[in-house]
Structure 1
Amino acid sequence: MDSTAEDGEGTGRRLRDLRRARGLKQQDLASGDVSVSYISLIESGKRTPSSAVVALLAERLGCTTNYLLTGQDETHTRELELKAAFADLSLHDGRAGQALQAFSEVLASTPVLPEDTVRRARLGQALALEQLGRLEAAVQALTVLYEDPRCVAGSAQWSQVATALVRCHQSLGDNVLSVEIGERALRRLDQLGLQATDDHIQLGAVLVGCYRSRGDLAKARLVSDRLIRVADEWGGRIARRETYWNAALVAQSQGDVDQALALTERARALLAESDHVRHRALLAAAYGTLLLDCDPADPERAHQLLEQAHTQLADVGTPAERAHAQTHLALACLQLKRTDEARQHVSRALESLRDEPRPETVQARTVLARAQFDAGDGAQATDTLAAAQQQLRQLRPGRSTAGVWRQIADLWQHHGYVTEATAAYQQALADAGLPGQGVAPGRVGAL
């Protein structure tokens, strides 16, 4: 006679959920003792399996009989929660591939886990995908989490998901959507009237970066100034560091290099030896980049910092972060008259970016053209600049693309290509929303 510790419906539901989570079909569990039709009846709650059948099914599913009977399996649950903690540490240390594998293994046992552990693992999985540069997959996972009603607005996890979602859309070049999501999230926080937390402050800091990317520097400065006041009063070390860092980038974009350096120094002062290697590397890269813009520039010190950042980001950085360090390392080499080394660095940057049409790729191509000009290879340099312009036209026009057009125009003009320089300057004006005489708003014709 069939009997269990509870009705067959609960056992059948857990059997079905766990089988699906394992990617198995009913016939995969069937044997000479248990038919496919009998398994179907168990899953539908129409049959209550015997203890022997439960033991057989549990063995094939890799769970305990107690879990199938009661839904409780403390030993297995503890093991999975330990694995999730290990994945968190791996992610913090920049070992995104290792973290992704561990989180995926945890999520394969979703029916066994408490709901909060599952959501934590899904967030970790999405963040690991982001670090690995798999941004579309990260956005998909984050969107599901963000729209889940169990992710309560204002909670730490909600803020972390919103921040990551804004950051990923920005990295994909969609500044419109990233700003829309960020502003909506901050408005929600204002409506809730909650005291500012580190997670809330970091959300604001990422939004500042989005304003900067789309060229809205006045708004970026306004929000970053407000965030600094909030972070200084309520924020912890990490939140203040993120706030100073993004404010430094805004100041740099506004041409205020001294203010940018001062803010970067404040951010670097908040670094600790226990901090994420990636964060230390990114701040070193940001500081090195600023030293190249100083008057006078300090290319030797910049090269040292960027080399350090490049070495660390090789293991823990995203493709875009590695490319940024390599491109600016190439700029430092050009200032130091080390042309061959500059070409090597920027070529590696392009390899990291896989030649995709994105701002970092265009920037790298522009630096490569400069190195080719410096090496006396004008024909190759003009081809490289033409390729950079072709990719730049594929990007959404705005102040950020206008700045790159201006760099290209300056390079054309410096080397005597007047017609090409004029067209690039006109395109810079058009992208900035200030078309020159005889130039209609939008994209000008191909050169």
Structure 2
Amino acid sequence: MEQSQSGTNGIGQRLRELRQKRGLNQQDLASADISVSYVSLIETGKRAPSETVLKSLAERVGCTVDYLRTGRDDTRVKELELKIVFGDMALRNGANGEALQSYSEALANAPLLDEAMVRRAKLGQALAFEKLGRLEAAIQLFNALYDDPETTPGSAEWAQLAVALCRAYRDAGDQVMSVEVGERAMKQLDRLGLDVTDDHIQLGATLIGCYYNRGDLTQAQLLSNRLTQVAEENGSRVARGAVYWNAALVANSRGQAKESLALAERALALMAESDNVRHIGLLKVNCAAYLLEIDSCDLDHVAVLLTEAQETMLEVGTAAEQASVETYRARLALRQADPDAALERASRALGLLRNESRWESASARVVLAQAQFERGEATAGAETLHAVERQLGQIPVNRNTALVWRQAGDVWQLNGHPNEALAMYQHALSGVGLVPLKGATRVTAPLI
């Protein structure tokens, strides 16, 4: 009685595909115990081979018996799973390019993997894209996983994806979508009435940062107040650290330099025991930045913080994060009355950013301009500030760009150019939503 391919579990089809792939004919598979006609019957699904025959055929086409029998090669599967594990390790260690390659190689053989490993590789691939600055690709993958029916709202994976989407949209300059995703996720959690977990606290902490970038400091402060209490009652040290980290950002944006420093130092103390060295490094940068805004700060302590942060970022940080350290070291050099060192550091930051049109590059240029002015290179300083203006004009408006406009205005003002400073200040105001008065005309009237 003839058997179908399904009746023989697809052995014949896999045998034929492998034979043809290796450029063999049926005669090449025949032996004293296996005739050409028998090979033909197996390939058409009309005969189920014995274990002995199966072993002989597997050797000839270069695969395992398990693969011929089931279509699953356990040895190959283990190799692919190890690639995903290696990708996870590479991602944690800042080797983002290597991580992306490992995940992509695994996903190229996705049919051999179970669904859980495929999802793990897709998430890793998205995170690698994000860290490499390929935000559009990252957002596309995050969205696909987030909207997948297999992703359960309220689960740890769902919360991680919501956080990643908020972060990616924020970094891509789409402040509206970053806040929308975060608010929708927080409301969904409230409707589900689930117990508060670290993942939920992390989502709220990320949303605080999104509110900050959008310039909505009131919402950021309200959420910060709510999360601080929840985190203290239910959160781990890391979760509490994330809340204080973003609360420091909000306090700093309100001009509360000493309060923001205290919050950042508390966040650093809470996270110091974690294994996320990158976050610890970034917090040290934040502490150094807040210290530099205080007139009588300990500059030696700032130098120690930035040196330690730089050592970390060189190992696990992105190019933008490494550039941020260089920019703050340039600011420190200006406070130390060393414009030569400031110019060198700011130039390094620009080199790391490859002169891309992003607010971090514009920020480094502002420091570079001040260093040039202090070195007596007024023409070069003015040209650098005009470059800042051109660059900021190409970047989506948010609170970070507004801050750089303000800083550029301060450099113009400090160096005796009030008209240019005024133009920069107007851009800064527009950047936080304060638009010029429409329809107004200049009126010259006597003062009474």
TM-score normalized by structure 1?
0.85
Please list every run of 5 or more consecutive structure 1 residues that lacks an aligned counterpart in the other structure. Answer: 20-24, 36-40, 441-447
Q: Which amino acid aligns with 2:214?
A: R
Q: Does 1:276 align with 2:276?
A: yes
- Contact preservation (8 Å) 2:5, 2:46: no
Query: Does the C-alpha gap of structure 1 residues 12 and 387 become closer, same or farther in structure 2, counting only changes over 3 Å?
Result: farther
- 1:187-241 Cα shifts (integer Å, max 9, x gaps): 2212211111111211111111111112111111111121111111221222111
Deviation at 1:299, TM superposition (A): 2.5
* d(CA) in 2 for partners of 1:59, 1:419: 82
Partner of 1:202: 202
Please list every run of 5 or more consecutive structure 2 residues that lacks an aligned counterpart in the other structure. Answer: 29-39, 441-448
Partner of 1:84: 84
- Contact preservation (8 Å) 1:240, 1:267: yes
- Contact preservation (8 Å) 1:401, 1:431: yes
Partner of 1:418: 418
Partner of 1:162: 162
* d(CA) in 2 for partners of 1:321, 1:212: 19
Pairs within 5 Å for 1:390-429: 390-429=390-429
* d(CA) in 1 for partners of 2:258, 2:319: 29
Q: Secondary structure, in 3 states, of the residue corresponding to 2:271?
A: coil
Partner of 1:22: none
Q: Which amino acid aligns with 1:269?
A: A
Partner of 1:102: 102
- Contact preservation (8 Å) 1:166, 1:182: yes
Deviation at 1:284, TM superposition (A): 1.0
Q: Which has the larger radius of gyration?
A: 2
Deviation at 1:298, TM superposition (A): 2.8
- 1:9-58 Cα shifts (integer Å, max 9, x gaps): 65689899xx9xxxxx99645533399xxxxx99x998888687897689
Q: Does 1:217 align with 2:210?
A: no
- Contact preservation (8 Å) 1:7, 1:48: no
- Contact preservation (8 Å) 1:9, 1:45: no
Query: Does the C-alpha gap of structure 1 residues 126 and 430 become closer, same or farther in structure 2, counting only changes over 3 Å?
Result: closer
Deviation at 1:424, TM superposition (A): 1.8
Pairs within 5 Å for 1:205-354: 205-272=205-272, 275-354=275-354
Q: Which amino acid aligns with 1:152?
A: T
Q: Does 1:33 align with 2:19?
A: no
Decide which moves more: 102-111 or 178-187: 102-111
Number of equivalent positions: 426
* d(CA) in 1 for partners of 2:102, 2:181: 29
Q: Which amino acid aligns with 1:415?
A: N
* d(CA) in 1 for partners of 2:56, 2:292: 68
Q: Does 1:120 align with 2:113?
A: no
Partner of 1:443: none
Query: Does the C-alpha gap of structure 1 residues 398 and 108 become closer, same or farther in structure 2, counting only changes over 3 Å?
Result: closer
- 1:40-93 Cα shifts (integer Å, max 9, x gaps): x99x99888868789768987x86331342255545444543443343233223
Deviation at 1:276, TM superposition (A): 2.1
Root-mean-square deviation over aligned CA pairs: 3.3
Query: Does the C-alpha gap of structure 1 residues 48 and 111 become closer, same or farther in structure 2, counting only changes over 3 Å?
Result: farther
- Contact preservation (8 Å) 2:292, 2:302: yes
TM-score normalized by structure 2?
0.85
Decide which moves more: 402-411 or 323-332: 402-411
- Contact preservation (8 Å) 1:430, 1:439: no
* d(CA) in 2 for partners of 1:137, 1:58: 42
Q: Secondary structure, in 3 states, of the residue corresponding to 2:117?
A: helix
Q: Which amino acid aligns with 2:98?
A: Q
Decide which moves more: 99-108 or 142-151: 99-108
Pairs within 5 Å for 1:35-74: 64-74=64-74
Decide which moves more: 175-184 or 64-73: 64-73
Query: Does the C-alpha gap of structure 1 residues 258 and 56 become closer, same or farther in structure 2, counting only changes over 3 Å?
Result: farther
Deviation at 1:412, TM superposition (A): 1.1
Pairs within 5 Å for 1:432-447: 432-436=432-436
